[in-house]
Amino acid sequence: MTEVFDGGKLAEELRTLVRDAEALLRTSTGTASAAEQKHAETTLAELRDRMATLEQQVSSRAREVDSYVRDNPWQAVAVAGGVALLVGLIMGRRG
């Protein structure tokens, strides 16, 4: 069975990771120093910003690819076939 990349699933898993990190940060407030707490909050805020930027970039690229494939279906098939051939050759040499 072939596994298909699901950008939405990846984004949801990243959001879950951020929520879990936030929960961990809240539970560790009593055991961490003020400096550690501030550093963790800053890092988490940066992670949220990076994740939002990444999600926008991935969505933008996905729309571009979708548009290209719809406009040029045979070229897309040829590129996919070429990539599959290269991967097959590389995997064949390892075995």
Tell me which residue of 41, 55, 47 sits closest to 11, measured CA to CA.
55
Q: Which residues of 13-51 are buried (b: 16+ CB within 10 A; e: fewer)?
A: ebeeeeeeeeeeeeeeeeeeeeeeeeebeeeeeeeeeee
Name the residue ranges covered by the structural domains of the chain.
7-94
Distance CA 58, CA 72 (A): 21
Distance CA 83, CA 89 (A): 10
List the chain pLDDT tens, one digit each, 95 residues: 445 556 677 777 777 887 887 777 777 766 667 777 788 788 888 888 888 888 888 888 888 988 988 998 999 899 999 999 999 999 888 76
pTM, to two decimals:
0.52
pLDDT the model gives residue 84: 93
